[in-house]
Amino acid sequence: MTTIDVQAGRLSQEQLSENFSDSHPPLNSGNAIVEANRCYFCYDAPCIDACPTAIDIPNFIRKISTGNLKGSAKDILSQNIMGGMCARVCPTEILCQGACVREAQEHQPVRIGELQRYATDWFFESGETFFERGEPTGKRIAVVGGGPAGLSCAHQLAVSGHEVVVFEAREKLSGLNEYGIAAYKTVNDFAQREVDFILQIGGIETRTNQKLGQEVILDDLRKEYDAVFLSVGLGDVNSLGLEGEEPKGVYDAVETISELRQSESLKELSVGRRIVVIGGGNTAIDIAVQSKKLGAEDVTLTYRRGPEQMSATWKEQEFAQTNGVRVKHWVAPKCLRSENGHVTGIEFECTELNPEGKLRGTGELRYMEADVVFKAIGQLLEDSVFSGSEMPAIEGGKITVNLEFETSLPGVWAGGDCVDSGEDLTVQSVEDGKQAALSIHRRLK
């Protein structure tokens, strides 16, 4: 019989505090100045084009180099109201820093993300502000979902003078920034501090524990408000597609990360000794690394294709491996094994690409023992959010929108992960929300 070893308290509180401290400590003032002076301040800078929110990166870096941190923060936050969080979680290695001229020349890009964090952190700590509400328009807009897209939309609408009510299904605002990102990426309750900053403009009412399709109905919102913006994210989880019921010990990675983020004591969280993670994105990396940091002895991340096809960036993959996570490519889950109703392992089939470039199984099998298996294989739009209402057009599992972020329903816009506007990234969701708000404002005028 296989021994199941899942328990809490594998590590001391001191070790846990160290493991979950800031994974990338901020620059100090001296280092920030030196790094800012590395920028060429390019005209037609490629880093601007690579940023989904089009921040004027050379300009904000120039202001850091001259000591104008308020001006630097204004350049950032005027384009991206969640620039503080994006500085922590953006895959800058494939966005702005990946496009940096110094990357092409020296393979050492300017550390744009760290400079952005330096400027925005200073601004938040200063207590200053520069955003003001516009003249009241008398219009009221419902924003459904208090994540990055919803908060970005709400803030831009307030700047335009509209009244906004944000309906959030959970207890706290900020969406995946609060519930779905690894704890070591955003420490000291930064997500909620950023929410407070966004809401201080005024004109934004928030109603939590209000889930679309249950406490609030889309058809009712359309009647009561002048416009509706949907930023409901992706609430359902893809299935492994294996035969039979999943035994105990098989968990959704996103929900587990949420539980960890909301836990008051990491020492009380149970963790397996042998962990297998299925998936190739940032969520897979986050749950694998956090399992290791909680005290798991053996953590293996598995993916059915090669490293180049993983949606997690090369930097995230490297981070996982340097934190003790083994990564196995070209294996697909075939069968879960269990004893007494609890998972004991998982059987994989090795994979390869056929001559046409399509994935296929080779017939060779591999077996991995596991106390816990995490699914991190993507999420789906939750259809139940439209219960009792007319549904907008949906294609490919996401809400269909036009270039103005309008859905097929008159007066209803959508953005963020629930639409197919680009990569499922915080920075893209922020841009979606901002552009949808500008579209709504133009329509209401």
Q: What is the pLDDT of residue 207?
A: 98
Nearest by Cα to 151 from 444, 439, 438, 429: 429
Q: What is the pLDDT of residue 191?
A: 96
How far, in Å, CA of 272 to CA of 8, rounded? 9
Tell me: the pLDDT tens digits for 190-234?
999 999 999 999 999 999 999 999 999 999 999 999 999 999 999
Whole-number Å distance between alpha carbons of 204 and 152? 11
- Is pTM beyond 0.85? Reply is yes
Which domains occur in the chain, in start order?
26-126 (1.10.1060.10), 140-235+381-444 (3.50.50.60), 237-375 (3.50.50.60)
β-partners of residue 88 are none
User: Which of 16, 156, 139 shows the shortest CA–CA distance to 77?
Assistant: 156
Give kind and range of the element (H or E) at residue 271. strand 270-272
Q: How far apart are CA 24 and CA 114, in angstroms?
A: 9
Tokens describing residue 235: 């609430």
Structure tokens at 33: 């100045």
What mean pLDDT is predicted for residues 286-307?
A: 97
Encode burial over 174-183: b for 16+ CB neighbours within 10 A, e otherwise.
bbbbbbbbbb
Q: Please report the pLDDT score of residue 2 as a whole number.
A: 67
**Cα dist. 376→12, 87, 238, 248, 320 in Å?**
28, 24, 8, 16, 15
Does 58 score more than 70 pLDDT?
yes
Query: Which of 139, 137, 12, 119 lies closest to 74 in space, CA to CA?
Result: 119
pLDDT tens-digit series, residues 338-355:
999 999 999 999 999 999
Mean pLDDT of 48-76: 97
Single-letter code of the amino acid located at 206:
T
What's the pLDDT score for residue 1?
A: 57
Three-state secondary structure readout of 349-387 = EEEEECCCCCEEEEEEEEEEECCEEEECCCEECCHHHHC
**pLDDT at res. 285:** 97
pLDDT in tens, 387-433: 999 999 999 899 999 999 999 999 999 999 999 988 889 999 999 99
